[in-house]
Structure 1
């Protein structure tokens, strides 16, 4: 099972990668958009964990 710390590290790594790709290939490039979608999924997963913890 993935912990919140694991998610945090993955989110930060993916965010940094997306920024690098966005700066080099453009914000509308297919690769940047795919990374953004993956980042959204991880953030939503993390928010779901916060909701469970605080409930």
Structure 2
């Protein structure tokens, strides 16, 4: 998955999470599930792209 594709998935998941929280609240099982999915996407981005960027300058 390209960097751009990953960023687009992150933005879509973030928007979905906002909608779910508005409908069901912060502690609903669905909100927690979406939050965890967003965390995984963000961790993937950080692993692939932030670390890659930082190693270029070390």
Number of positions where the alignment pairs a residue of Structure 1 with one of Structure 2: 54
- Aligned-residue Cα RMSD (Å) equals 0.9
Cα displacement string for residues 12-50 of structure 1 (whole angstroms, at most 9, x for unaligned residues): 000000000001111100000000000000000000112
Give the alignment's TM-score, normalised by structure 2.
0.86
Structure 2, unpaired ranges of 5+: none
Structure number with bigger Rg = 2
Aligned to 2:32: 33
TM value normalised by structure 1:
0.91
